[in-house]
Amino acid sequence: MKKVLLTLLFFAVALLTQGQTMGKLELKESGFGEKKLAKAAKRIYISEFTVNYQMAYSQTSIARGGREIGGGYRGDAKASLSVAIPGVDPAELQKITDDVYQDYIKQLKAEGYEIVGADEAGKTDIFSDWEKMEGGQMSQAQFPGYLATTPSGFGYYVRKITKKGRAKNGVFEYANKLSRQMDGVIIAKVNLAIPFVEQAEGQGSRALRKTFGGVAKVVVKPNFRLSPIESVQISKTGSAAAITKSSYIYFESLKNQGQVNYDLKKAVEIDGVFEEKKYKAVESADSDIWGTQAGHLRLFHFTDKEVSMTQAIPCEPEKYLNGARQVVESFVNESLSGFLKAGR
């Protein structure tokens, strides 16, 4: 299938009463076997439906000390910044996910699709040792700083739950095998990532810190958006990707298979929710250039320095919730519309 661009433009009129504007939603469609997908039985199993809302963000910058090029020594410098959104009710975020999911199901049924339940999917070999989960229970463990929401009443499976509470499905794609074991049922996967901040240190500042060292600095600013992909730190050495993507996979045999995917071409920004302001944490290293002579020795005195800041980034909760609802509805509806056209 050739890649096509689906474009949906949201004008400020859509959110005029809220004093908000939204960017342009551009979906990139890719896949193969469109004609085969259209011939598949109208049975669909939704294996994933998750909306990840970022509520907090933390970052640490460390400037390591040691001997300086011009002479002398300096200590380590460490700056940590944590920001969060106050006043947004998590229950309202869950309601957005629930409402959009119910409308999603309604549209599928209106097109003649039978929604296959988790109990039937659980009879397959692939899910025999997977853990069944019940939607409607928000998780803060999946992506630190995010609330991962799944629809209430939605059953789904995960390969395992880690000790920290993260759901993992492994590195291998399971949808083709699952579709085959379910006699060609279409497997749907819908995931969205909605962050609210981004790193905002200028290139010049970063270049100076890299060249001269001795300064630890974290700078962020609000940028409320639907994002194609966000790298989230989940441990000291590891990260995971929160993505916005919708996929529909059909595999009955090598001759009868098809797939269509919908990705964001670029982030969809939601304005009018946060003040345009930068938030910073900065610490400069302590240094001793000359030292002190002590007999035949020269002693250098310096200490490690650290600053840690926590700040709330205020917003109007009603505007936040309205913007989140609009962007979730828009992505889900537009990607579903593309699938329904492919399946006709």
**DSSP per residue, 75-112:** --EEEEEEEE--S--HHHHHHHHHHHHHHHHHHHHHTT
pLDDT of 242 reads 93
pLDDT of 172 reads 67
pLDDT of 5 reads 44
* DSSP H stretches of helix in the chain: 34-39, 90-110, 118-121, 175-181, 203-212, 317-342
d(CA 71, CA 64): 16
Nearest CA among 17, 110, 106 for reference residue 332: 106
d(CA 214, CA 69): 12
> Tokens 């505007």 sit at which residue?
319
For 331, half-sphere exposure in the C-beta direction (CA atoms, 13 angstrom radius) is 35
d(CA 151, CA 140): 15
User: Each residue of 47-61: pLDDT tens digit?
Assistant: 999 999 999 999 998
Nearest CA among 4, 42, 46, 33 for reference residue 246: 46
Point out the residues of the chain with pLDDT beneath 70. 1-20, 69-70, 170-172, 290
For the entire predicted model, the pTM comes to 0.86
pLDDT of 113 reads 96
pLDDT of 291 reads 73
Tokens linked to 343: 């399946």
Q: Which residues contact 126 (CB under 8 A, 6 or more apart)?
A: 174, 177, 178, 181
**For residue 85, how many other CB atoms are within 10 A of its CB?**
22
Per the document, the length of the chain is 344
d(CA 167, CA 138): 12
pLDDT of 171 reads 58
CA-CA-CA-CA torsion for 315, 81, 224, 168, nearest 10 degrees? -120
**DSSP per residue, 252-296:** SSSSSEEEEEEEESS-EEB-SSB----EEEEEEPPEESS-EEETT
d(CA 141, CA 133): 15
